[in-house]
Structure 1
């Protein structure tokens, strides 16, 4: 009798809790606290707790929204860096107990954990070890204070599926965190909780706050010598994992549905588009990661309708995209199938569940899975899943289709892991092959799925030239775009934009980026002093895109940078590129021993304006240099007398979330302004980087 061919596990393996966590795939992050009411991303801990006073907290609405969006859980910022606790902690005097909400008798954690149970959602908590309010922070006793705080939450509001930590340790006081102590508290009270940080141990930060994992993404990570926060692994390792890494620490992709993490009324019109959210979904869940999408609660205590509406629009598209698994209709065959193992069946490849699997024999690190149809099928999505309980194995695979009697390759990719989703153009064929070209050990595949996803109406893009002229672009073919300039919702009766630029798309659906020159006969929209533009695309079948809004500042026509770090510069100096409203062009100050921080730039706007704010766009990307953290902003009528700064502070979280910053200040008359970079986001930076500077006028 032949011996059973048992499958030997390969490499670092997930725990049962990690396997269950990966199956969740998509859940909600909620940032809520004093910052919601102060328009700050990182509060300083000195705010009056009475500022926290939502008019009508409805945690059931949060849970209901998450459930209807197709999410499987909610992680709440129970305590952010400001130290404010959303429950009446006995280890702090900066809590809801001291707030004006419910006369100090409320408990956000209790309300949300109860609501999650009602709606069948997992409940998770974020507790920042950084505490800018607690008097013991920075002392030898603080770690035990934080451990006590953890115990309080984890023993009273469970079960908790995820404990979210970051390594933030900023400000003037540094605290050596006792991570072993913190982890032991979590596992004592919530043994099945998955712990998030830069180095896990349950799941890892993906290395950016855009929600996008690497096209190669291993669930294993090398952690020796690394720690959460500034001591974390390189961004490339976080984004892609490490092949044959020491521990199973899969990627979690965090991103906010709007700019910033906490609610601000200034971002109500900046909720991400459906097409943008789809790019994020395919770049996270579709690349072996979990997606945690932040949806901040507003000052009323509910999820804003702009956010909830967008979530429902996304759910509708995702449901339609993955409604009909075409692989179930196929005859499936595979080469090198393992024998004498009753758990291994080819039929498991298209049975619609990832709890069963097919496996190749030990001698075969490559195999071919073929789906054959009697009649042609049309598809544009391929979904593959490995049986991760036995390890992540596939290193390289390709997809082929039968076309005109020959096999044609349509995709060639690297890793699979928990789930890999390929976005492809429409293909019609009677045969699809999945070629496992290379694997660390015998491939163990749980699912092969094919889908025909519907097309999505692309939203228009509002582009702005230096001279104040606005023009519109769109990635959908033959769009009819209407716009408004008075803040109202565009309809078919609104002014129509003539000669919309048709933007190209890649085969994976990503919109090409860049600034386009408008046709000579395009509609002329002149907004030299800025304003609000809203645009919406309509098709003849009655469908339409979501509305896109852009708040424009003063056009920098005629502006010039007159001095950098106290030295005059000519009009053709490269520094003037930072006034072009194009974030791709970046100016970085000189790297000389005598010109370290602070750095400053003086700008002449050519005429006097009443200013009420400024904007700073940092450099972005892996090679970004000189992202500014601390700033001062001065104005002058003559370029000689500057007085005290009209605005000063820090761009909170700008290192991890390098997006355009808008800073309001009291209206002031000025022709000149001076931007001073006081401190860098990266401690070792000596230079200041600026992609764009602008002002907001009254």
Structure 2
């Protein structure tokens, strides 16, 4: 979020640890046992060192593969954020932690309205700010009174998270939660940044009158944490065990607005361990092992966005960018060579592009949503550049998405539909070297044309008759990594004549959309791979004529 990330020193992101200094127990009440071994992950992270030559680092990068979680997340393409809480009613972007909870009074909360608008806007997953930096919690937690239970709204019986999760599932949308690592309220209560040491903590920590006590199904964890780290673990436990399946857990790295000599060293390893145990299919972003922040809050990826990037250790199960978080190049051959002195790994770490539909992250009456043209430009520069778009749409004081925003989401989806209507290449006649060229045009992301060699391969598509094309969509089979480093796209604009270069591309990854300033009319089109790290598997070669 705008305020949060501008105020922490680095945009560090993290990697999960299957086994760490935290001992993890998954057991019924009683003596802690040992967690069952998880299924082995693919090589999503491979060690490198300064002793590796540039070519050796590139060779290692070519062997990195995404996890199933990461593949599923990248295929979402477009996700939503909903910033909602006490800030909605105070007008702040970063709360103070001492707000009167009774200020939270959504007069007409309708999460079904949110879900319908998101579905109609083409979103497949949405993330709710369950807790922002102020510490106010949108569900009745056992571990704080700074929550909906202390508001007279619905007589203290309200539960926004419950309503949100139920509505999203009703409309076929995946559920994500954001729980801020920073907590101004817990700082005021002497828990956050109190200097406590990490020590083994039992999670969930029993509380007086705990309704879970004695429940045979309660699983216990023993994890290393500070006082505040344990507070976060207990809230994660509540959210991940009482609200149905969670598909994404979203953290940032914000520190509270505390004196410079005060700092809370987050227990990332323990937090990730409990997420992996309770929500094994959930993506952890963007301060997490699965997804990284793109480096800006304008929703814009780099022209060439690599999913494999160099990273370095930063403690407590966390990793950080080896290069500057907003460096113009994170994963090219030059970037990998430059990072060797400081990086410990190359990792599959795809980019998420976050941006708000309005200037602020929370709703403000005097702000208006972005235009369709602005949102479309953002889509092409995020989804069209091997990234996932995370668009924030903040509910207003009524607890509704504003009419203007709802209309804009629908218009946005319709506009993208006109930008990329019928795929003219779908099931067209395809030929080429390598294996199974028809797989590039069959519409199945799990099948792909396999190039014959790392740095060459030619795929030709015959549309049957001359057609105008001004949008080209490409996608690699990322289960085999991200390999393409350069390709040329050509068309035979005059039947029987030679090939004319239409455009070129340096990176593809999961999704790359190229726009042609002037439509090109041709029957035959071809793609020539001229540079790659490993043999390219192309799962998509789509040709479109926009109707804008």
Contact kept, 8 Å, 2:491 with 2:522, in 1: the verdict is yes
2:490 to 391, 400, 404: 400
Going by fraction, where is strand more abundant, 1 or 2?
1
**Partner Cα separation in structure 2 for residue 446 and residue 11 of structure 1:** 18
Structure 1 partner of 2:469: 379
| Cα root mean square deviation, aligned | 2.0
Q: Which runs of 5+ in 2 are unaligned?
A: 1-59, 197-226, 337-344
Identify the residue that residue 159 of structure 2 maps to in structure 1: 107
| Counterpart among 211, 217, 220 of residue 299 in structure 2 | 211
Corresponding residue number in structure 1 for 2:449: 358
Counterpart residue number, 1:148 = 234
Residue number in structure 2 paired with 1:684: none
Bigger-Rg structure (1/2): 1
Judged with a 3 Å threshold, the aligned counterparts in structure 2 of structure 1 residues 67 and 367 are, in CA distance, closer, same or farther, namely same
Higher RCO, 1 or 2 (CA under 8 Å, sep at least 6)? 2
1:90-169, aligned counterparts within 5 Å? 90-134=142-186, 135=189, 136-139=191-194, 140=196, 141-169=227-255
Distance 1:237 1:441 in 2: 25
**In 1, Cα distance between the equivalents of 2:154 and 2:329?**
43
Change (3 A) 1:230 1:93: farther
Go from structure 1 to structure 2 and tell me whether the alpha carbon gap of 1:39 and 1:254 turns closer, same or farther (over 3 Å shift): same
Structure 1 gap segments, 5+ residues each: 1-7, 339-344, 456-698
Superposition TM-score, scaled by structure 1 size: 0.60
How far residue 179 of structure 1 moved from its aligned partner, in angstroms, is 0.7
**Structure 2 match to 1:449:** 542
- Specify the alignment match of 1:86 in structure 2: 138
In structure 2, the partner of 1:174 is 263
What is the CA distance between 1:76 and its match in structure 2? 0.6
Alignment partners' CA distance in 1, 2:90 and 2:377: 31
Q: Do the aligned partners of 2:61 and 2:346 also contact (CA within 8 Å) in 1?
A: no
Among 109, 114, 128, which residue is 1:57 paired with? 109
For 1:194 and 1:386, the matched residues in 2 are separated by 21
Partner of 2:81: 29
Give TM-score scaled by structure 2 length: 0.77
Shift of 1:240: 4.0
Distance 1:368 1:231, change over 3 A: closer
**Aligned-residue offset at 1:222:** 2.1
CA drift of 1:286 comes to 0.5
Number of the residue aligned with 1:38: 90
Residue deviations 1:17-64 (CA, integer Å, cap 9, x gap)? 111111111121100001111111111111111111010110111111
| Alignment match of 2:366 (pick from 255, 259, 266) | 266
Cα distance per residue 1:341-380 (max 9 Å; x no partner): xxxx21111111111111023x442111112234210011
Indicate the residue corresponding to 2:356 in structure 1. Answer: 256
Rounded Cα–Cα distance in structure 1 between residues aligned with 2:430 and 2:460: 6
Distance 1:281 1:61, change over 3 A: same
Asked whether the 8 Å contact 2:432–2:460 carries over to 1, the reply is yes
| SS in structure 1 of the partner of residue 164 of structure 2 | helix
Contact 1:211 1:280 (8 Å CA) reproduced: yes
Match of 1:695 in 2: none
Asked if 2 retains the 8 angstrom alpha-carbon contact of 1:207 and 1:235, the reply is: yes
Contact in 1 for aligned 2:269/2:318 (Cα 8 Å) = no
Query: How far does residue 236 in structure 1 lie from its aligned partner after superposition?
Result: 3.7
TM-superposed CA distance for 1:237, in Å, is 4.9
- What number of residue pairs does the alignment pair up? 437
**1: distance between equivalents of 2:515 and 2:502?**
11
Counterpart CA distance in 1 for 2:370 and 2:166 is 29
Conservation of the 8 A alpha-carbon contact between 1:204 and 1:238: no
Q: Distance in 1 between matches of 2:233 and 2:271?
A: 6
Distance 1:364-1:242 versus aligned 2 partners, 3 A rule: closer
Classify the secondary structure of the residue corresponding to 1:211. Answer: coil
Change (3 A) 1:329 1:378: farther
Aligned residue for 2:233, secondary structure, equals: helix
- Given that 2:140 and 2:147 are in contact with CA atoms closer than 8 Å, whether structure 1 keeps it comes out as yes
Secondary structure in 1 matching 2:488: strand
CA positional deviation for 1:445 = 0.8
1:334 to 432, 438, 462: 432
Query: Which residue does the alignment assign to 1:348?
Result: 439
Partners of 1:277 and 1:202 lie apart in 2 by 25
Q: 1:190 to 1:149 in 2, by over 3 A?
A: same
Distance in 2 separating the partners of 1:40 and 1:157: 28
